[in-house]
Amino acid sequence: NAGVMQNPRHLVRRRGQEARLRCSPMKGHSHVYWYRQLPEEGLKFMVYLQKENIIDESGMPKERFSAEFPKEGPSILRIQQVVRGDSAAYFCASSPRLAGDPQYFGPGTRLTVL
């Protein structure tokens, strides 16, 4: 049973480009969480999704950021028109069923905006 997969592991974008980060949850997990770790800061919650539904996006910036978790395929975190301040490590976690179930973390995607 593979763990949470994230790709790419490293992503470099120029200012104004789009970044797409992918997260494949563990098999059988239907809940996905995205977290961001800015340089020299702790992890912060961004969004919580179930299949085809955004449950809680209270941690997402209001503009340029969006997330989805389609019925088939990985969860996608999309950042439009990236800026240097978006440079961070983005971690995905998944859990089996209920919001209270333990979360399992992916290896993260390190985004660098030039």
Residues that bind other proteins (CB under 8 A): 33, 35, 41-45, 48, 55-56, 58-59, 91, 93, 99-100, 102-108, 110
Cβ closest to other proteins, residue 15 vs residue 44: 44
Report, in Å, the least distance between residue 84 CB and other proteins: 19
HSE (CB half, 13 Å, CA atoms) of 109? 26
- Please provide the distance, in angstroms rounded to a whole number, between the alpha carbons at the two ends of the chain: 36
Report, in Å, the least distance between residue 102 CB and other proteins: 5
Report, in Å, the least distance between residue 49 CB and other proteins: 10
HSE (CB half, 13 Å, CA atoms) of 11? 26
The first and second tokens of residue 51, run together, are 């299949």
